[in-house]
Amino acid sequence: MKRLWICGLGSVALIVLVFCLSQAATAQLVLYDNFNSNRINPAKWGGWQTYDPDLREAVRELAPQSAGDNGHRLHLMQMAYSAVTDDSGGSGGIWGLTFPNPGAVTAVSFEVTVNKIAVTSCASNSGFEAAAAEFRGGFFNTQNSPTSSIGDVLGDISVVRNVQDLGNALTGAGFISECTDQFCGAQTTLVYQVLGNVNAGSTNVLSIRWDQRNHQFIFRLNHNSPVYAPYNVADISPPFSASKTIGLARVVTHCTSSPRPYALVDAHFDNVYVNP
């Protein structure tokens, strides 16, 4: 009753407006999975992992919320090291779960708690290193009749750490990218939006919505104001690769020097909502 009364006041206070908008946005989505079972539901999820010779440790399981609690969360962990073949470029990988009917998913909201995240640099290669807990997916293709992933446009929302970040502060970020090779190993970033800072160990709600009518994505971190991210490429075809996943991602530079760089992400996911 108190929540209903607050929203009904018509107050001009920003915090009240944000709260009311948040409630409306949540009402438009439906619960997909709260992971309150003993096993990952095979009707709702497929396993997702890229070929990854640099991955050394990985966990994908349902874990209790707390001791004596019947509730569960999805627990994912991955630790990967750099390739030591050269000092050029880097390698990435994804570990998580995929939606079995990705074409039906145009909006997602989920809780994520990043327990541990670390990424280290290479003394002989100043390339890009990052690790993230995320949702990502292919939403459309810019070509009339795509025959490969070239032109697939991906939407991504994540809690990310770059190698330059210090302390417990992590970044909530949303971005849009376009695949530039047939397997989407190379991408061009179309839009990158910083959504705010979060602390390691805190639980945060991330949401992404594809608003095709207005040629934009809408990102949101917690109860912050939505961030609108328009794009200027054609959204005329379904993606060649329509996969949509929740999981962990990382990029580690190739490195021949010591110590060997690595990326570690340990996170819990819960309360996944999707469009009806």
Q: Answer yes or no: is 14 within a domain.
A: no
CA distance 269 to 115: 11
Residues in the chain: 276
Q: Answer yes or no: is 16 within a domain.
A: no
Q: Answer yes or no: is 94 within a domain.
A: yes
Pull the structure tokens for residue 112: 């994520």
Contact assessment for residue 192 and residue 173, using Cβ atoms and an 8 Å cutoff: yes
Residue 146, domain CATH: 2.60.120
Q: Is 135 left (phi over 0), alpha (psi -120 to 50) or beta?
A: beta
Q: Answer yes or no: is 212 within a domain.
A: yes
Q: Residue for token digits 């989505």?
A: 29
pTM: 0.86
- 219 forms beta bridges with 208, 227
7 by DSSP, 3-state: which?
A: helix
- 179 forms beta bridges with 187
Q: Answer yes or no: is 6 within a domain.
A: no
Q: How far apart are the first and last CA of the chain?
A: 26
Q: Which residues are CB-contacts of 13 (< 8 A; sequence separation ≥ 6)? A: none
Contact assessment for residue 149 and residue 177, using Cβ atoms and an 8 Å cutoff: no
pLDDT (tens digit, 9 = 90+) per residue, 54-111?
Answer: 899 999 999 988 755 568 999 999 999 999 999 988 888 899 999 999 999 999 999 9
CA distance 92 to 234: 28
Structural domain of residue 167, as residue ranges? 31-274
Q: Answer yes or no: is 4 within a domain.
A: no
> Structurally, how many domains does the chain consist of?
1
pLDDT (tens digit, 9 = 90+) per residue, 132-189?
Answer: 999 999 999 999 999 999 999 999 999 998 766 655 679 999 999 999 999 898 899 9
Q: Answer yes or no: is 238 within a domain.
A: yes
CA distance 162 to 126: 13
Bond from prior residue into 261 cis (ω within 30 degrees of 0): no
Q: Answer yes or no: is 9 within a domain.
A: no
